[in-house]
């Protein structure tokens, strides 16, 4: 996929993508960029059963917009250079929430070289999730700058942040 944008111009009232096999992958190309962008007015979106290679960005204050992700594993793309890390979290983080509501169940964030999950606003709940072997300058597993992150029955292990968090 090249950057797939879902916003108020998207026709269907809901988007559900469910994997048909255990090794089904959704990827944003070799650069590991933005796979899916949910903008203002986006309908509810569900992703289920995928290996995800690329960022999902949620930025919608619309009460109907919400993101559900279940049984997915995020694997980082290629290892970015340190300069790229400073300039673009969205390119390499798994999930970036600017605004809106995201519910994740049985998800894994593995091997990121920047914050695996970034919360700049909105409300994110992760149930039965795993954050492992991520590295970043700050907040390797998750970096919360605004909004709320709730982790229920989560495993956070072997994450390394060089300046803060880990």
Token digits for 161? 């942040």
What does the radius of gyration of the chain's CA atoms come to, in whole angstroms?
14
CA distance 117 to 108: 11
Per-residue pLDDT tens for 36-91?
Answer: 899 998 899 999 999 999 899 999 998 888 999 999 999 885 444 444 333 344 34
Angstrom distance (rounded) from CA 85 to CA 136: 8
pLDDT tops 80 at residue 28: no
Query: Which of 8-22, 78-92, 129-143 shows the lowest per-residue confidence on average (mean pLDDT)?
Result: 78-92
Question: Would the pLDDT of 132 be above 80?
Answer: yes
pLDDT, tens only, 31-42: 558 888 999 988
For residue 132, the number of C-alpha atoms closer than 13 Å in the C-beta half-sphere is 8
Quick one: DSSP state of residue 14?
-
How many angstroms from the chain centroid is the CA of residue 53?
10
Q: How far apart are CA 22 and CA 145, in angstroms?
A: 34
Buried/exposed code over 17-35 (b: 16+ C-beta within 10 A; e: otherwise): eebeeeeeebbbeeebbbb
Q: Helices marked H in 39-78 — which ranges? A: none
Return left, alpha or beta for 85; rule: phi > 0 is left, psi -120 to 50 is alpha, else beta.
Answer: alpha
The residue among 80, 13, 88 whose CA lies nearest residue 57 is 88
- How many CB atoms sit inside 10 A of residue 92's CB? 26
């Amino acid at each position: 996929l090249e950057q797939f944008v879902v916003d108020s111009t998207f026709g269907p009232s809901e988007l559900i993508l469910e994997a048909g096999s255990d090794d089904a992958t959704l990827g944003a190309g070799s650069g590991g960029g933005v796979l899916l962008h949910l903008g203002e007015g986006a309908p509810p979106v569900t992703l289920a059963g995928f290996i995800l290679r690329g960022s999902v960005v949620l930025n919608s204050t619309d009460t109907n917009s919400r993101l559900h992700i279940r049984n997915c594993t995020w694997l980082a793309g290629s290892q970015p250079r340190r300069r790229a890390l400073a300039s673009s979290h969205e390119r390499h983080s798994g999930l970036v929430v600017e605004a809106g509501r995201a519910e994740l169940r049985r998800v894994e964030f593995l091997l990121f070289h920047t914050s695996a999950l970034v919360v700049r606003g909105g409300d994110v709940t992760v149930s039965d999730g795993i954050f492992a072997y991520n590295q970043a300058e700050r907040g390797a597993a998750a970096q919360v700058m605004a909004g709320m992150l709730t982790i229920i029955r989560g495993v956070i292990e072997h994450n390394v942040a060089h300046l803060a968090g880990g």
